[in-house]
Amino acid sequence: MFIWWMLFVAVLPVESNADVDFDHDVMPVLTKAGCNTGACHGAAIGRGGLKLSLYGSDPVADYRAIALELKGRRVNLLEPEQSLVLMKPTEAMEHGGGFRLDPESEAAARLRQWIQAGAERHNLELRPKFSRLEVSPSSVVIRHPDQRLNLKAIAHFSDGSVRNVTRQTVFIAEDPVAVEIDSKTAEVRVLRGGRHVVIARYLSQVKPVEIILPFRGSSVKVSTDEQKQVFDQKHFIDRAVNDLLATLGIPISGDAGDDVFLRRVTLNLTGRLPDAEMRQAFLADDESKRRIDLVDRLLNSDEFTEYWTLQLAKLLRIHAQPGNEIGTQRYHEWLQRQIAENVGYDVIAKKILTAKGDTHQVGPANFYRTVSGAREQAEFTSELFMGTRLRCANCHDHPLDQWTQDDYHGLASVFAKIRSGQNVEASDNGQVIHPKTGKNARPRIPGVKFVDASDQPLTTFANWLVADQNPYFARAIVNRLWKSMMGRGLVEPADDLRATNPATHPKLLKKLADDFVEHGFDLRHTLRLIAASSAYARSSDSISGNESDVRYYSHRIGQLMEPEVLADAISDVLGISEPYGDKPLGTRAVMLVNPQTESATLDALGRCARKDSCEVPVSLTGTGGLTLKLHLFNGPILNQRIAGGNGRLSRLIAEGKTNEAIVEEYYRVALSRPVTEIEQRFWSQQLKETNGERRSLLEDFVWSLLTCKEFVTNH
């Protein structure tokens, strides 16, 4: 009987162990079990003596670590079951990472088979290579929360063969509270309405899956105010925004009204509050075109140039290096000229990247004095001009993007040939060591190709970057322009564009970028385009059904004013100038060249020192943090200056204005709108019924106005 059983077993059709390959079979097991995550053996220094590449980006190194190092102690070829690589994750022996692998699972069996076959790594030159991952569906709308969705992952190989790798693929929900995924079956259940992203990872590739569950399953209800909107309803921005809102079933708030629009667009384009004259002229204009005329006036103003010089100076991190104040001044002046002359952003970028010479004379050459070191220059440049975080690829291939260590060190190698003292010049000596090879890295256009040193790598890179077809350059800047105007980037964070961090409105981002390129990389054009959309003019007041929306532009997202803008606004409302270092009194904060200029007010408001990125996380664009509030409520920024002698309040009292007139003027100046009857009644009551001194009461009123959300935000 036993012999018959043995014969039966011997002729069973089984997968040959020799077919089990480290790269294609073992690596997915390790990734699926979480062995190579940053919290485990994928950490920079490994864990428990075992160091694996993050998410399996380096199979060669991982094979060495698992099968070869320390005389192969982690695999037991005589008794595979006794191998550390099996016993640890199955917790057959103590494991700091806990239970990661069911010993009865297919994954454990695969690992066991690999060891039984000799724990080899196949020569991939002789075998089909993994070429791409396909996940289906890539985008789907689910109609009901009870609806289940089965994801499927297919691996494509170089010989045309495909393999269903669903069970070896790791699926991670961006928001695990909203999306539940069965790791064994890849079945997805969406628990909360909205647009969700699931990241699928197999071997070195990651793919996003977009899943939408409408909030209410209903279509968009366009408000009456919206219908009255004077702007073109066929605007492509509105089509994209409204289509997604319709899919999500989120209702749209109405138009903000002329006063709010005036304040909003003036702040966005010039960093200032509109004054009474502007308001008068605006309201006197033809209703059908008063908004677009206003936008055009602002775009052509000196104030626009000043404010958008500041915006780009923050992006470029222009700050005074010790002993290079002159250079910083030249850099700032040069930038201001580019904005004033409406030079294309592509030309600005190329001038910056290829600048050479004395930094005290050649403004853009100071770009190469902003950060020190070729690697830092590569990181800075990729974040600035490509909106991507190449820095992750310094130590390992980027776990969530295409960037490899070759890309990172290759781009660093491009910049290594720049010598950056007071004179910025090309040098033959600079090199960057590639940590993988220990040899000089080859100059490389990231994600594209290596460049020979004789082919002027820096010029080649600059030309590639600003080319019309470049997939990063235009998107990175239009996303930032959008964020500046709308309060939230289509991609957040704005310097983290990648396939696994998709835009909320991918087609809109592409269309904006294409349009930007078509119009000569014209910053003003894109800002005008956004300002002309209904989405931009939307009220910040939520309505029933869109209260929780902070991503899809169903209502305006309020932005806390930038420190420089808020400081200037406070000065304007109080009528008292703020001193900035040794600058003449009356200097506006937005015009300061050096972010280190002495100012306790700007420090308290949280200005960016521009030594690192000044990208503001979207979570802080609303009302600021507790520190800022405490400074405003209790600190000297407002309290000392409100009580100051020569400001607006003193003048109004001296002119014999009534309380009502004073309230009326402050509302117009601070909030850019008339005071309502209810508000006027409230303040009249407050100022009359309290028994305090009149001035003190009015100071309290001004304090109340300047600390309210309506003032400190662009809403």
Partner 1 sequence: MSDLSCSSLSFPDMVDSIVSLSGRAAHFIRVRSSIPRCFFLLGFALANGVTAAEPPITSLVFDPAGNSILAGSQSSVMVHEWPSLRIKRTVSSSLVLIQSLAFSPDGQKLAVAGGTPAETGVVEIRSWPTGDLLAVHEGHEDTVQSVAWIDDKTFVTGGLDHEIGIWNVGLQKPIRRLRGHSKGVTGIQVIAGGSLIVSGALDQNIRVWKVETGELIRTLNNHTRAVNELKTQPPGQGKNSGVRRLPIVASVSNDRTVRLWQPTIGRLVRFCRIDAVPLALTWGPEGEWLAVACDDGNVRGINPDTMEVAVKVSVSDAWLYAIATHPTDGSLAVGSRQQRLQRLTEDELVNK
Token digits of residue 509: 């981002």
Residue 72 Cβ vs partner 1, minimum distance, rounded to whole Å? 5
Out of 3, 9, 126, 177, the residue judged to bind partner 1 by CB under 8 A: 9
- Note if the bond before 617 is cis, omega within 30 degrees: no
Q: Which of residues 347-376 bind partner 1 (CB under 8 A)?
A: none
Instruction: Tell which residue, 103, 114, 129, has the closest CA to residue 22.
Output: 114
Q: Which is nearer to partner 1, 18 or 276 (CB)?
A: 18
- # binding residues, partner 1 (CB under 8 A): 34
Token digits of residue 279: 């308001």
Residue 404 Cβ vs partner 1, minimum distance, rounded to whole Å? 22
Residue 21 Cβ vs partner 1, minimum distance, rounded to whole Å? 15
Q: Which of residues 95-134 bind partner 1 (CB under 8 A)?
A: 113, 115-119
Q: Which is nearer to partner 1, 119 or 384 (CB)?
A: 119
Sort strands 205-213 and 139-141 into parallel, antiparallel or unpaired.
parallel
Q: Which is nearer to partner 1, 64 or 611 (CB)?
A: 64
State the burial class of residue 140 (Cβ atoms within 10 Å of its Cβ: 0-12, 13-18, 19+): middle
Q: Phi first, then psi: what are they for 240, rounded to 5°?
A: -65, -45
Out of 3, 12, 44, 585, the residue judged to bind partner 1 by CB under 8 A: 12
Stretch that binds partner 1, among 87-95, 248-256, 578-586, 697-705 (CB under 8 A): 87-95
Interface map 372-411 toward partner 1 (x if CB under 8 A): ----------------------------------------
Out of 61, 84, 326, 343, the residue judged to bind partner 1 by CB under 8 A: 84
Q: Which is nearer to partner 1, 98 or 586 (CB)?
A: 98
Q: Which is nearer to partner 1, 49 or 674 (CB)?
A: 49
Name 230's bridge partners. none
Residue type (1 letter), 525? H
Exposure string of 594-626, with b = 16+ CB inside 10 Å and e = fewer, is bbbbebebbebbbbbebeebbbbebeebbebee
Angle at alpha carbon of residue 388, lines to 385 and 392, rounded to 5°: 130
Q: Which is nearer to partner 1, 61 or 458 (CB)?
A: 61
Q: Which of residues 441-480 bind partner 1 (CB under 8 A)?
A: none
Q: What is the DSSP string of 265-331?
A: HHHHHHSS---HHHHHHHHHS-TTTHHHHHHHHHHTSHHHHHHHHHHHHHHTT--PPTT-HHHHHHH
Interface map 44-83 toward partner 1 (x if CB under 8 A): -----x--------------x---x-xxxxx-xxxxx-x-
Stretch that binds partner 1, among 85-93, 230-238, 444-452, 612-620 (CB under 8 A): 85-93
Please give the Cα distance from 121 to 139 (Å, whole number).
36
Q: What is the DSSP string of 587-633?
A: --GGG-S-TTS--HHHHHHT---SSS--PPPGGGSSS--HHHHHHHH
Residue 436 Cβ vs partner 1, minimum distance, rounded to whole Å? 13
Q: Which is nearer to partner 1, 87 or 172 (CB)?
A: 87
Angle at alpha carbon of residue 85, lines to 84 and 88, rounded to 5°: 65
93 is a contact residue toward partner 1 (CB under 8 A): yes
Token digits of residue 151: 């994801």
Token digits of residue 325: 């104040």
3-state secondary structure of 511: helix
Q: Which of residues 413-442 bind partner 1 (CB under 8 A)?
A: 438
Q: Which is nearer to partner 1, 49 or 692 (CB)?
A: 49
Residue 77 Cβ vs partner 1, minimum distance, rounded to whole Å? 4
Binding site for partner 1 (CB under 8 A): 6, 9-10, 12, 14, 16-18, 49, 64, 68, 70-74, 76-80, 82, 84, 87-88, 93-94, 113, 115-119, 438
